[in-house]
Amino acid sequence: MNSCPFCGAREVGRIGRERYYCRECCHEWTKGGGEVKIFEVMSDGSVEPLILERDSISHIVSHSDVRRAG
Ligand SMILES: [Zn+2]
């Protein structure tokens, strides 16, 4: 089952291929290629990419945090 990656609500709607919308917190997100991108829906209907704190998405992007030893 899908749930909102932002607030965890289960009341989510699918609005397109790999694209979902949460009515609880009014955010959209995509899951293309295993990468989750969250967008904030503005009052005029446009969407803005949401930049999250690094720590809060570390579970999503942890694989890109690997340091190179040399
Ligand atoms: Zn939500």
Question: Would 40 be classed as within a structural domain?
Answer: yes
Question: Would 44 be classed as within a structural domain?
Answer: yes
| Cα 4 to ligand 1 centroid, rounded to whole Å | 5
Position 1 pLDDT exceeds 80: no
CB-side neighbour CA atoms (13 Å) of 16: 6
pLDDT, mean of residues 20-31: 92
Question: Would 19 be classed as within a structural domain?
Answer: yes
| Cα 38 to ligand 1 centroid, rounded to whole Å | 10
Give the C-alpha distances (Å, rounded to integers) separating 55 from 18, 19, 42, 43, 51: 24, 24, 25, 28, 12
Question: Would 4 be classed as within a structural domain?
Answer: no
| Cα 35 to ligand 1 centroid, rounded to whole Å | 17
Looking at residue 53, its pLDDT comes to 62
Q: Please write the tens of the pLDDT for every residue from 30-69.
A: 988 878 889 999 989 899 998 766 555 545 544 445 566 6
Cβ burial of 37 (10 Å; 0-12, 13-18, 19+) is middle
Would the pTM count as exceeding 0.85?
Answer: no
Question: Would 25 be classed as within a structural domain?
Answer: yes
Count of structural domains within the chain: 1
Question: Would 3 be classed as within a structural domain?
Answer: no
Element (H, E) at 47: strand 47-49
Which domain covers residue 18, as residue numbers?
Answer: 12-65
